[in-house]
Amino acid sequence: MNSKTDIFPTARRLEGIQEYYFASKLREIGQRKIEGHAVLNLGIGSPDLPPAPAVIEALHQTALLHTAHGYQAYSGIPALREAFSQWYARHYDVALDPNGEILPLLGSKEGIKHIAMTYLEAGDVALVPDPGYPAYRAATLLAGAKVLPYSLTELNGWYPDFTPLEKMDHTLTKIMWVNYPHMPSGAPASQEVFEHLIDFGKRHNILIVNDNPYSFILNDAPKSILSVSGAKDIALELNSLSKAQNMAGWRVGMLAGAAENIQNVLRYKSNLDSGMFLAVQMAAIAALNLPKEWYQSLNETYARRQKTAIKLLKHLGCAVAPGQQGLFVWGKVPAQYDHDGYRLSDALLYQHDLFLTPGGIFGQNGTSYIRISLCAEESAFETALTRLKPAPKKHNQAALTIA
């Protein structure tokens, strides 16, 4: 007798698409906890700090209104688009028309899929960073397009190497996914690189999509690719309130760019959702109006955590490049662990109930690295260090041992 999965095979668009790594890993961690293991999760970038009180109050007061609970406009209320516009002018020195160049999203991850489905189809190619956020690859494949990885390396500062990119045939290339400040390496945004990307996109007629959720974290000078002259002609930018406003679970993001491109994405998006809850929109407006002191205080917290996280990675023998931005610290795994982030991650989990993210989930170029999240109190990093002492000893291939 056939099983149900035999009767209902999945669509071909799911070929090559695996379950998101963290979804399966969280189940595994959950099972270990059920079995009595006190697993310390320092791998996932879900902010542990709350939003500002004004944000929560705006949600509360709006939710009390009996008129607040109906369907909302697909493109958000005008006041939210205006708040995004002022936020970009104030922090990025970028002028955006709130009536055409901004589209609020239910999180920027949603926007990645919307852009892919709007502009990609079978036969098209998208340039995807290696290492990079796995959603770029997944969205490209779900749209039926081909993934063409482009290499990012520590040697090149985790920026695109345009020499091999220029030698490629880009006849079928329609999108280039970029992400600065870069996740997972923490490489900061560079105005020079942004200018080169816009020039590259214009000459090859490639839509440049910059995913920009980390620009405020451990950085006092946020940058936007849309600040480059003529960028709107060839670029879109995703942004989010998940990280710098501590609103990951609220699902508030935005897409910015030329009005024609925004309208194209809206055509797709409007067939998938029925707008954002009004109370969440009003809370987002409050978040977008937070003063500079909010970001400064947040970064003071993350700077202390980063210092302790680096201490932990160095205890493991990992090399850590200075100047990293964003919610993570990226370390190069030493030879004693075979330069293999998966090996080190598994050893930490199964021998010390400590989870750090193996860099290989972000692409082949991340295999020799491991990532630690800053979304935990300093005491958590100290606890992790205590679990690892005494210092790691060398191991053989058969028995990977840290302490």
> What pTM was computed for the model?
0.91
Going from N- to C-terminal start, the domains of the chain cover 4-50+293-388, 53-290
Beta strand pairing status for 146-151 and 207-211? unpaired
Count Cβ atoms within 10 A of the Cβ of residue 42 and give its class: 0-12 exposed, 13-18 middle, 19 or more buried. Answer: buried
pLDDT in tens, 137-159: 999 999 999 999 999 999 999 99
The pLDDT value given to residue 3: 52
- How far, in Å, CA of 37 to CA of 286, rounded? 40
Question: How large is the average pLDDT for residues 16-44?
Answer: 76
CATH 3.40.50.880 for domain 4-50+293-388:
no
Q: List Cα–Cα distances, 210 to 103, 215, 267, in angstroms.
A: 15, 11, 21
Q: In CATH terms, are 4-50+293-388 and 53-290 the same topology?
A: no
pLDDT in tens, 253-309: 999 999 999 999 999 999 998 899 999 999 999 999 999 999 999 999 999 999 999
Q: List Cα–Cα distances, 32 to 40, 299, 353, in angstroms.
A: 11, 33, 9
Q: Which long-range contacts (CB under 8 A, 24 or more apart) does 78-83 make?
A: 79/281, 79/282, 79/285, 80/104, 80/281, 80/284, 80/285, 83/284, 83/285, 83/288, 83/289
The pLDDT value given to residue 256: 98
Name the pLDDT band for 397 (thresholds 50, 70, 90). very low
Name the token pair of 96.
């955006």
Instruction: Tell me the CATH architecture of domain 53-290.
Output: 3-Layer(aba) Sandwich (3.40)
pLDDT in tens, 306-352: 999 999 999 999 999 999 999 999 999 999 888 999 999 999 998 99
